[in-house]
């Protein structure tokens, strides 16, 4: 079902790094807020992020769906070595922008690379937000399970929902279960059966029921 909520461009070029993306305002006005960002090879216009932003807005959450600084600088291609720290600074600025627009709790989320940077930021700055939404967390490079990206998870004090496909080459469900247990705060793992790294939103295909299920699971935090 299409969302009843509209979205509008959002930008704050005065910040360094600047913040740019789209703002989804719920019909009932500002309450809680969610900053949502993308993976390494995409941008904030991906169908997965749009669908999730609409679902959260329908539930009363103001969503800032934004591009990371590296994507604002380059329309195509993955992040480069050295981009990560600036991307985390961009996420922190996006949280600050949203804090000026809502009066409730603040959440931070992202797909793959964006989610990893969000979790690293929150491990560095406990209390920055009230919860994390980590979509297809890139636990390790495909085919290289020995290169785990879990070093910061024991320092993560922010409640987190991990949403992960059972066919994701960036981490088996069993590997994700072990990683989630490393998080110092409350953490839940939502498995998406038969989905890969795109969580069933590849090309024109999409799992229509997934966004509302993610919202429901996130509220359990």
pLDDT of residue 3: 47
Distance CA 211, CA 202 (A): 15
Residue with the two structure tokens 């998870």: 153
**Under a CB-based contact definition with an 8 Å cutoff, are residues 108 and 115 in contact?**
no
Distance CA 122, CA 9 (A): 26
List C-alpha distances in Å: 106 to 3, 66, 127. 22, 15, 10
pLDDT of residue 5: 60
pLDDT of residue 27: 85
List C-alpha distances in Å: 160 to 74, 124, 204, 220. 30, 15, 29, 10
pLDDT of residue 2: 41
**Is residue 101 helix, strand or coil?**
coil
pLDDT of residue 6: 79
pLDDT of residue 208: 87
pLDDT of residue 204: 67
**Under a CB-based contact definition with an 8 Å cutoff, are residues 41 and 95 in contact?**
no
* Distance from chain centroid for Cα 6: 20
20: left (phi over 0), alpha (psi -120 to 50) or beta: beta
Distance CA 162, CA 189 (A): 5
Question: pLDDT tens-digit profile of 56-112?
Answer: 999 999 999 999 999 999 999 999 989 999 999 999 999 999 999 999 999 999 999
Q: Give the predicted TM-score (pTM) of the model.
A: 0.95
Distance CA 158, CA 128 (A): 9
Residue 180's closest CA among 169, 172, 189, 171? 189
pLDDT of residue 201: 93
Low-confidence ranges of the chain (pLDDT < 70): 1-5, 203-204
Please list the residues that pair with 135 across neighbouring strands.
111, 163
Residues 6+ apart with CB under 8 A from 96: 15
Distance CA 214, CA 139 (A): 20
Backbone φ, ψ for residue 167 (5° rounding): -110, 20
Distance CA 89, CA 70 (A): 11
**Can you read off the two tokens belonging to residue 27?**
């019909």
pLDDT of residue 1: 37
């Amino acid at each position: 079902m299409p969302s009843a909520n509209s979205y509008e461009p959002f930008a704050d070029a005065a910040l360094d790094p600047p913040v740019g993306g789209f703002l989804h305002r719920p019909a009932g006005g500002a309450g809680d807020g969610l900053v949502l960002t993308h993976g390494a090879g995409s941008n904030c216009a991906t169908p997965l992020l749009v669908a999730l932003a609409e679902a959260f807005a329908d539930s009363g959450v103001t969503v800032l769906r934004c591009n990371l600084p590296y994507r604002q600088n380059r329309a195509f291609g993955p992040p480069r070595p050295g981009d990560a720290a600036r991307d985390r600074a961009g996420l922190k600025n996006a949280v600050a922008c949203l804090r000026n627009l809502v009066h409730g709790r603040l959440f931070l989320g992202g797909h793959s690379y964006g989610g990893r940077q969000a979790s690293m930021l929150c491990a560095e700055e406990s209390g920055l937000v009230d919860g994390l939404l980590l979509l297809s967390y890139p636990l390790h490079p495909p085919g290289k399970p020995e290169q785990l990206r879990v070093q910061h998870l024991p320092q993560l004090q922010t409640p987190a929902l991990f949403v992960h496909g059972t066919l994701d080459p960036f981490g088996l469900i069993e590997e994700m279960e072990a990683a989630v247990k490393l998080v110092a705060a409350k953490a839940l793992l939502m498995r998406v059966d038969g989905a890969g790294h795109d969580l069933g939103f590849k090309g024109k295909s999409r799992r229509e029921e997934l966004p509302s299920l993610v919202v429901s699971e996130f509220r359990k935090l």
